[in-house]
A and B are shown apart, each in its own frame.
Chain A
Amino acid sequence: MKNLIRTTIGATVMSLLASTALADGHSKTLTIATVNNGDMIRMQKYTDDFTKKTGHKVEWVTLEENVLRQRVTTDITTKGGAFDIMTIGMYETPIWGKNGWLVSLNDLSAEYDAADILPAMKGGLSYEGTMFAAPFYGESSMVMYRSDLMEKAGMKMPDAPTWEFIRKAAAAMTDRDNEINGICLRGKAGWGEGGAFITAMSNSFGARWFDEKWNAQFDTEEWKNTLTFFKGMMTESGPPGYATNGFNENLSLFQQGKCGMWIDATVAASFVTNPKDSTVADKVGFALAPDNGLGKRSNWLWAWALAIPAGTKKEAAAKEFIEWATSKSYIELVAEKEGWANVPPGARTSLYENPNYKDIPFAKMTLDSILSADPDNSTVKPSPYVGVQFAAIPEFAGIATDVSQEFSAAYAGQQTIEEALAKAQALTNDAMEAAGYK
């Protein structure tokens, strides 16, 4: 015990000394806030490579997604300056960029090759032509399914399935006695969890959040159809307690072999095919997210990206970090150490042209999914907002969290779908009115 304490104190003192010693060179210490996703945690492991190349040190603040969001938003809106680099997404970037809170990343070095970034990603991370965040990885969503169970059910997954097919396949694959659920989907409250899924799904059912005059649209048939279909399918073939399942819960279920299908972020493909964590690694197939014959699929578009808050004193060093972390050479570094399946996907065109990466089973489907998502034109009927699974307006996060709470309560059977939609309609209109849209 005593030794442990001594070591602990010793280590702390040493690290304090070390950080003071370094502070007075040309090198800087960057404080970076990031989300606790697998790819980011991997990046932390390779920070030494960055320090070796530039001399700058890095301090990580790793937080769970919801906590990260509240933490960085508080800091940016109050100009707190606690972080030199923030990990943010496609929702925050254009809003913050518009407010002038982020440093423009249009002037990254030629060597960085900004033109190589996938146009969909670059577009979603820019405001009026200025890129304000560089994508670390990008994602869409797609169907991941168990090829063995599909075969057992006597069905064959098309490359571009419809919702009707998915529902039928889910019912056929479900085997309650062996704890196999035909389909696992997000039902958890939160705009980035179940809210994102149902919004993307509603696009394929012809629904939209707002009409051109910013009136809420939850009183429409399309929304009712979306929720009724979702709840019906999940009741038939979903896992118990799906109303509290988010990305992580479903990933865990799928890895244990308890899901026949899972429609979620394309980045999950590398987790479910990794034999170290997944019991079904060699039995996973991929397909595009389903549609309903209305011309829109139910896949979203998202990127976790690095941005520099305006006003930081370490702008130059921060840019060096972003160039390192989102570069082609970082991808090569990870590929060399951990294999091509584990590199951060979805950010660069060159990755998908790389012959080594083409052999990865989910590479093509990921790219196709990303390319088929169009944030500027995501709904069947015209809508006034940008974004697929969100509307890029400041009020959206708050409204969508409330709305998704109502939806989750409907999934759990605490209220009917009609009640949930009526409440969603009222609270959305109320919030939009308060924000001055009407």
Chain B
Amino acid sequence: MATQNSRSAARLMMAPAVILLLGWMLVPLTMTLWFSFRKYLPLRGGDQGWVGFDNYVRFVSSSSFWPSVQTTLIIVGGVLIITVVFGILLALLLDQPMWGQGVVRILVIAPFFVMPTVSALVWKNIFMDPVNGLFAHLWKFFGATPVEWLSQASVQSIIMIVSWQWLPFATLILLTAVQSLDGERLEASEMDGANPLQRFGYIVLPHLARAITIVVLIQTIFLLSIFAEIFVTTGGAFGTKTLSYLIFQRVLESQNIGLGSAGGIYAVILANIVAIFLMRIVGKNLDA
């Protein structure tokens, strides 16, 4: 239906956003690519020339590489599972009639407004500290030995902190979807004798598929690059070094821009693999 005229107008209207993002992507990416093939050590006289694929080989052959990829996937996957599962349960609960629904919703979405740095600091010190933290007091009250959260259950602790931050987002989106659920269909199925589990499986879940997709997609983008939560809590120790944290160490602590840039390119590749994988699933639900 669109005319030739409106097509070119459409292109014109897209132009600013596309050009800006193209620039934002290409300029740093090109520079990163360039650096990744150079021996670039700022503390040793800067750019010392072409080294081919040395940086790439070195980055992958480092003993930290595969564990960091694994950690990244575990953290992203763990947070996704927790936020989606609890998000659905919470959304279904909040959709039920109750007193003070508005206030409860306010309470539930609050963590989303907290800066990652602040939430990491608060969790690490005020809650998870094995001596003075609130959890330690709680454990002692029940006669148990306080858990050393960040050293003994480090990855789990980080997943918990990050999930706490992202649960509100998942809940909000899923709640919007739950609210649009067709009540009559549910009732009809109830009368047909479907039990709650069946109703959930055959009606609710398919209806939420699209919303779940959105949650997974958006969160993955943000979770792949979580940084503050690790920097503040464990500093990359105890198996919590993600790929982006490893790159941070190479660029800023080792001051090896070439190596870090090669790592950056790997991270882009990993992100794109994850993205393609997601798109396969998402694509169906995202009929654009």
Contacts and interface: CB of A to CB of B under 8 A. Distances in A.
A and B in contact, CB less than 8 Å = yes
A412 interface: yes
A189 B131 contact: no
Contacts of B44: 394, 435
Interface in A93-113: 95, 99
Interface in B231-245: 231, 234-239, 241
Contact of B231 (A66, A77, A409, A412): A66
Interface string A376-415: 0000000000000000001101110110110011011110
Given A99-B43, A405-B237, A408-B237, A241 B151 contact: yes
B92 interface: no
Interface stretch (B79-87, B168-176, B252-260, B277-285): B252-260
A409 B239 contact: yes
B250 interface: yes
Interface residues of B, number: 38
A398 B58 CA distance: 15
Interface string B56-89: 0010001110000000000000000000000000
- The winner among A239, A241, A243, A404 for most chain B CB atoms within 10 A is A241
Given A241-B148, A243-B148, A243-B151, A412 B255 contact: no
A409 B238 contact: yes
A398 B148 CA distance: 27
A189 B236 contact: yes
A94 to B, nearest CB: 11
Given A189-B234, A426-B63, A412 B148 contact: yes
B183 interface: no
Contact of A398 (B45, B234, B255): B255
B254 A77 contact: no
A398 B253 contact: yes
Nearest to B149: A241
A73 B42 CA distance: 9
Contact of B253 (A95, A179, A401, A413): A401
- B-side interface mostly: loop
Given A77-B255, A398-B255, A401-B249, A241 B64 contact: no
Contacts of A395: 254
A190 interface: yes
Contacts of A66: 231, 235
A1 interface: no
A366 B237 CA distance: 32
Contacts of A431: 254
A51 interface: no
Interface string B146-177: 10111110000000000000000000000000
A21 interface: no
B129 interface: yes
B56 to A, nearest CB: 13
B58 A434 contact: yes
Contact of B131 (A74, A99, A253): A253
Given A77-B43, A398-B255, A405 B151 contact: no
B195 interface: no
B132 interface: yes
B208 interface: no
A240 interface: yes
Contacts of B214: none
Given A99-B45, A252-B132, A397 B235 contact: no
Contacts of A435: 41, 44
A394 B249 CA distance: 14
A188 to B, nearest CB: 7
Nearest to B258: A434
A383 B262 CA distance: 33
B130 interface: yes
Given A74-B252, A95-B43, A394-B255, A241 B131 contact: yes
Nearest to B58: A434
A73 B255 contact: yes
Contacts of A413: 152
Contact of B250 (A179, A253, A398, A426): A398
Contact of B63 (A411, A412, A427): A427
Nearest to A95: B43
A159 interface: no
Nearest to A191: B253
Given A252-B132, A412-B151, A397 B241 contact: no
Nearest to A253: B131
A427 B253 CA distance: 15
A74 B251 CA distance: 10
Nearest to B235: A189
A179 B45 CA distance: 52
Nearest to A398: B254
A244 interface: yes
A240 B146 contact: yes
A408 B252 contact: no
A394 B43 CA distance: 6
Contacts of A401: 235-236, 249, 253-254
Smallest CB-CB A-B distances: 3 pairs: A398-B254, A241-B130, A77-B42
12 contacts: A77-B43, A77-B46, A95-B43, A188-B237, A189-B236, A249-B129, A398-B254, A405-B241, A408-B151, A414-B238, A434-B256, A435-B41
Given A243-B148, A405-B238, 13 more contacts: A73-B42, A190-B235, A240-B145, A240-B146, A244-B150, A394-B44, A394-B255, A398-B254, A399-B254, A401-B253, A405-B236, A409-B239, A426-B63
